[in-house]
Structure 1
Amino acid sequence: RTEDSYLAVLKGSILYLYEDEAMQECAAAIDVHSCDVKVYPETGLLDGELFAKRNALVIR
């Protein structure tokens, strides 16, 4: 994994970012209520691939 990638957990409208799979220390918490969140890449993913661990999110 690259230095600028995180594991993410969405709870309500808060996206919690963790640096490792232990998820013991939260690196950041982002309120995505008013953001546009998309899975990257936007095309070419099958339904089952959307729930895999290794998907990138674009938050604007």
Structure 2
Amino acid sequence: MDDKRKRPSEAIEAVKQELDALLEAARDTTVRLEHAFEGMRAVGQHARAVLRKFWTGGARG
């Protein structure tokens, strides 16, 4: 075979490695998104508590 061309088994291995790298990146992204959503949920809960206190008059004193 030509030196520039890979054998089928080498090409398959290269694709597997590329897919593994993409899968790992997707997992990292998923974890980051989960943490971001947890943070947004906490902010939303805090905002609800503050608004509830405001609307019920608890913030006046």
Q: Aligning the two structures, in what range does the TM-score lie when normalised by the shorter sequence?
A: under 0.3
**Greater C-alpha radius of gyration:** 2
Q: TM-score of the superposition, structure 1-length normalised?
A: 0.19
TM-score by length of 2: 0.18
- Which one has a larger percent helix, Structure 1 or Structure 2? 2
Higher relative contact order (CA 8 A, sep 6+): 1
